[in-house]
Chains A and B, each alone.
Chain A
Amino acid sequence: MPNPASGGTNPLLDGLRIEPTPEPTALVIFGASGDLTRRKLLPALYQLSRGQRLPARFSVVGVARSPMSDEAFRQQFHDSLKEFAGLAQPDEISSALAQEMRYVQGEMDDPALYQKLGSVLKEAGSPEGVLFYLAIPPSVYGPVAEHLGKAGLVSEDHGWRRIIVEKPFGTDLASARALNHLLHKHLNESQIFRIDHYLGKETVQNLLVFRFANGMFEPVWNRRYIDHVQITAAETVGVERRASYYEGAGALRDMVQNHLMQVLALVAMEPPIAFSAENVRDRKLDALMSIQPVVGPDAQNGTANVVRAQYAAGWVNGEEVPGYRHEEGVNPESATETFVALRMFLDSWRWAGVPFYVRTGKRLPKRTTEIAIQFRRPPLHIFKKISPTAVASNLLIVNVQPDEGISLRFEAKLPGSRMQLAPVMMNFRYGSAFGRAVPEAYETLLLDAMLGDATLFARHDFVEASWALITPIHEAWAAAGGKDVASYEAGEWGPEQADAMLAADGRRWRTL
């Protein structure tokens, strides 16, 4: 134990039942008056404060174009807790946190804003760490990074300086590369935290524990035992108020390039040699780099590996909903996909010949995200002459949302004198096994960024590798001019072309 008089490591932190807390930090939120800040960031800060995960000296500086006083920003904080954290009245925790909040108004491309920001950080006691959160449109990332660099605000001469960048990180390979290049002009890669809130989800993190802390699964986690993998991210909602963004993005950019590629990489990666940010991210990158081109001359099955579609009018959750092209703000001739299904193969010893099917869409019957690992059937069905039922494959399902957990399906004998088989499911649910509230993804990720742990953040090369895979699909679609956009009725599980893609392989999508 260090001598407490030396002023070294805090001797009272040893053995505390709280998790590590960051060094004194100022969090600077660009886009402080925006939706993300109100819905996610401010409630996450409150929950972190309640759980004593914030450092002794912690302050928040909100930055945005809207004129607002410090007091009004604090009121916005209380309002957001009322709306999104269920805190009807400010309590002592929220009031104490609010006291440490300041607001700076200005245009993102105005150098004076950054001078002002520098002064406010000085007034806040020049904390050891400053975390800049870019909750702003991607078009402004560049100018903000540029000005932060020019104003010396990201220089690490007097403590760490980090920046969190929200998705979308580019719109194609070229723009992602340009953005990385621009950020790297002013920041080291170790200072850049590209956030993907899927990686903050407990079950997604648990994939690493499940695979690499259980000796029984890893030996069968390969082409010899696994028939195929299905990853589904289904939403019941339509485009809501995001039509202007969604029209330019579509399901492939919005969900697959980031979230689902991260999930796929966690499923497919080789074991890292240690649980460290660089080791984990290296192995994830390897997995991504091994994915064969999905379209083009080098792709297996040509363009048949991708299906895109739009929802037509239909019924979801008992409500009649309009088709995508009739949504407010959507071009009536739009070719933007609201559903996409992909078949991918990995060039690796572990996964050669094992298809990874990925689908995501809006206005599907159920809100659910899951990873389903379907194992091969036993090589010999010894019961086929006496059991009237076929043997179902073993299935491992990782539920990412809404009920985070893991289920395993296996065959059992139905009770009785007759030999009859039936599948049964063993279920593990986070919500009912450990009894602890699962932290919100933004709580986990904000804290990790303050602690400097980049394991759950995307590295520049992963982002670029993902775009390298996705961009040719967009190019192929652009060349097709919208002729291949299929249609599905809202409330159904996507178009028949997606079913046909699996049927051609003798498989079918899981019924969810």
Chain B
Amino acid sequence: MTTTTTTTRALTGTVVVVGPDERLKPAAEALSKVGESIGLRSILISPGDQTAPPAKVDGNTTHIAGLSTRFLNNVVAAQRLSSLPALVWWRGGSTESLVDLADLADRLVLDVEAPDEVWKHAETLFERTALTDIRWTRLTRWRSALAHIFDLPQVSEAAGEFQKLTIEAADLDAGRLFAGWLRSRLRWKPSVSIAIGRASGNSGPSPLSKMTLEGPNVWIAIDARPETRCLAARVDGVDGSARIVPLSDGSLATLIAEELGVRTRDWAFEEALVAGREVNR
């Protein structure tokens, strides 16, 4: 005999998505999927010029189309769940309203195609909320694969000697962020050469397809293997250094679910962003 029980779900927070209509739809689908396993209230807002556009409410999701950016703060303040964390997922809009909105967010996730405009305001945003960029989340597995390699004594001993970083990236801005991370964590001087080029092959959902890090005594390579959804990391000439790391499916649902699991200010990201802004594509 099988019995099923229905229970009221505990809500754990609010996700506010702001962006143009065409970018809200995939976000709504992702949140719907995430909502199957996480208790969330979702508020989807596309900017426009209306002062009081009608809100469409469907279960725990509220959709507001064409809201004047002037009133964005009021709406978010009224709609978010009180006393629970609010995550703002920024998929585009006026940067001015983004800075104001940051005050209402416990966490702000940037997710725009050309990030330089919002990255310029990073220091202001850092002071207002816990900031991140969805590219950073896409890089989680790449960063941890490389970090594991740095546990090897041969690599950690040579950590101060790297001379050249080469990245092939499907997303050049993700490549800059990755390079910024290494530059800030390893305290690189400008003499360390960084080359970021567009990936020629298919890297699947991964933002990077290949990375090599070279020094006089150590050569590290990490390749994306989209066919098996893994990363392969190795250190030349070091036995037992090969590591296989699973990649996530890279879907928006997976990425935002990961973001929802992070609750604190991310200092490593902040330093990486500041350093990565200076890296040329």
Where the two chains meet, the residues of A that have a C-beta atom closer than 8 Å to any C-beta of B are 1, 3-8, 10-18, 21, 24, 50, 52, 55-57, 91-93, 95-96, 100, 125, 317-318, 403, 426-429, 431-436
Contact = CB atoms under 8 A, between A and B. Distances in A.
Contacts of A96: 242-244
A93 B228 CA distance: 10
A80 to B, nearest CB: 19
Contact of A435 (B1, B149, B185, B260): B260
A356 to B, nearest CB: 27
Contact of B10 (A92, A317, A433): A433
B10 A427 contact: yes
Contacts of A21: 148, 151
Contact of A52 (B152, B232, B245, B258): B245
B147 interface: yes
B246 A11 contact: no
A21 B152 CA distance: 13
Contacts of B153: 7
Interface string B7-47: 11111100000000000000000000010011100000000
Nearest to A10: B150
A428 B146 CA distance: 38
Given A11-B185, A426-B8, A432 B37 contact: yes
Contacts of B258: 17
Contacts of A93: 230, 244, 246
B246 A50 contact: yes
B151 A55 contact: yes
A467 to B, nearest CB: 38
Contacts of B261: 17, 434, 436
Most A-side CB within 10 Å, residue of B7, B9, B141: B7
B268 interface: yes
B128 interface: no
B257 interface: yes
A333 B38 CA distance: 52
A97 B245 CA distance: 11
Nearest to A437: B37
B71 interface: no
B240 A433 contact: no
Contacts of B141: 52
Contacts of A428: 10
Nearest to B241: A56
A500 B267 CA distance: 60
Contacts of B228: 91-92
Q: For the side of the interface on B, what is the size category?
A: 35 or more
B151 A15 contact: no
Contacts of B149: 56
Interface stretch (B61-69, B155-163, B193-201): B155-163
Contacts of A11: 150, 159, 185-186
A6 B150 CA distance: 12
Given A11-B159, A12-B143, A96-B242, A57 B152 contact: yes
A1 B243 CA distance: 26
A15 B268 contact: yes
A53 to B, nearest CB: 10
Contact of A5 (B160, B241, B257): B160
B202 interface: no
28 contacts: A4-B159, A4-B186, A4-B187, A5-B160, A6-B160, A10-B147, A10-B150, A10-B151, A11-B159, A11-B186, A13-B147, A14-B268, A15-B267, A16-B140, A16-B144, A17-B140, A24-B151, A56-B241, A92-B232, A125-B240, A403-B5, A403-B7, A429-B7, A432-B37, A433-B38, A434-B12, A434-B261, A435-B260
Most B-side CB within 10 Å, residue of A12, A91, A426: A12
Nearest to B271: A15
Nearest to B227: A92
B89 interface: no
A347 to B, nearest CB: 37
Given A52-B145, A92-B225, A432-B9, 16 more contacts: A4-B185, A5-B160, A7-B156, A8-B156, A10-B147, A10-B156, A11-B159, A52-B141, A56-B149, A92-B246, A96-B243, A403-B7, A427-B10, A429-B9, A434-B12, A435-B34
Nearest to A17: B140
B237 to A, nearest CB: 15
Contacts of B161: 5
